[in-house]
Structure 1
């Protein structure tokens, strides 16, 4: 787990670094006495959990939490403080845990284990990558599609962000060089069936629903770089700028790609 700590006392930072330096699966990627520098850091670096002092000059931990959550809504926040009268404020900003000074290695280990479990629950099983080429990951493993058209149909559903993809639209975009007849309809139905079967193998069949006339995905079941970009996620914006390509293997995706290029100037 990648964690950061923000505390205006250098000794507190040193203690935290000392206590966590040999903890398995814990990487302290940032330690700051200045809350504003911590904000700049998290815009560029992935962080899963943040340990924050509450009483700090310039910006206290409550205010910092609100700004951090704007950048990374799924960030696990743990307050560390010598004052217990901030509990209500901590609840208002939906802090996940509260660690009272003085603390020791055991206290940190226990709260990190709870934070790790919470972070895992917040992440969805399915992640869809659209910047560059289209890929689907379930439980961190890339999904292999034996049929290219089934994969493309799922990509089209992702592009629709939960909206229906009709059989007519699918035929127009996936089989544009063929007449819209019973054979094309059968190809569509075959692709729908293959998507269902493949997702069922991973226990993720609830992601996709399809009928004889239309299909769609349940966006509540998936994390996606494209969706994160539309939500204003700073990390997604950085990745998009570096890539500048959206579903590059599919010509029908050029329209969405053009909209993203126009929107880029507003970020």
Structure 2
């Protein structure tokens, strides 16, 4: 993914470039302190992604993004700034994401991974909503799960953000009033089979990975408000109102952790 960086502070350019050095498939082809230089480069070269500071004296990053997309309509934009009030306008330009300074290595990895997904032809096939109740969408259509426990197992995997869910934990969470025995193991396997079939029908079977007595999801295959909040999304921070998969009692601990995370990130010194 051929990427340019534009920031009127050279140290910021060098820092972001350094953070991208070991991210697969990201090729930094230009670093520019002046927006007009970036535009001139874009006129003569193919670029897939532009990482733009918003507050610059010559031309702000929002205007630069508009002009770059006139040259390359499929260009993916990533915005970086220290000012949260520009988030809505940045998202109106269909930016891949919006990084607040100071950002972490994980923030950069998430932003560039999301940009690569968009460069490959659009958003992930599945969109997961966790704020409030748990819902899964394929395109714009909600998925209606035929097996309620398959739905809850998928929710538990999302809660683990790519981490392994063991059969023992799944039984403890999904069948909390029943012992861990051959009957509940069979119920777990039935839920796994139902979830696999449902995802195959949605042409998203690669999202869910199973092994002997374990399962997990691949977060990079999903668009998810929870994952975006963890990655530092200002938009998702504003959207989170304290409820996370509210229908599942086992999700209460994650909801409390997210509330603390949001409060900490809202502090001026964060």
**Equivalent in 45, 48, 73 of residue 112 of structure 1:** 73
TM-score, normalised with respect to structure 1: 0.59
Q: Secondary structure at the match of 1:171?
A: helix
Whole-angstrom CA distance in 2 between matches of 1:227 and 1:108 = 27
What are the superposed Cα offsets for residues 224-243 of structure 1, whole Å, 9 maximum, x if unpaired?
Answer: 10010011001110110xx3
SS of the counterpart of 1:112?
coil
Shift in alpha-carbon separation, 1:84–1:202, aligned structure 2, 3 A? closer
Name the larger-Rg structure: 1
- Shift of residue 266 of structure 1? 1.2
Report the Cα distance in structure 2 between the residues aligned to 1:174 and 1:108, rounded to whole angstroms. 47
In the alignment, which residue of structure 1 is the partner of 2:185? 185
CA RMSD of superposed structures (Å): 3.7
How far did residue 109 of structure 1 move? 7.2
Q: Structure 1 residues 226 and 114, CA, compared in 2 at 3 Å: closer, same or farther?
A: closer
Residue deviations 1:155-189 (CA, integer Å, cap 9, x gap): 00000111111010001111010111111000000
- Runs of at least 5 residues in structure 1 that lack an aligned partner in the other structure: 1-60, 71-80, 97-106
* Aligned 1:145-160 pairs, distance under 5 A: 145-160=145-160
Pairs within 5 Å for 1:1-267: 62-63=6-7, 86-87=40-41, 94-95=49-50, 111-112=72-73, 121-240=121-240, 243-267=241-265
Cα distance per residue 1:75-121 (max 9 Å; x no partner): xxxxxx87688428x9999439xxxxxxxxxx987843677996782
Q: What are the ranges of 5 or more consecutive residues in structure 2 without an aligned counterpart?
A: 17-34, 52-67, 77-93, 95-116, 266-270
Measure, in 2, the Cα distance between the counterparts of 1:178 and 1:239: 36
- C-alpha distance in 2 between matches for 1:120 and 1:229: 23
Change (3 A) 1:120 1:133: farther
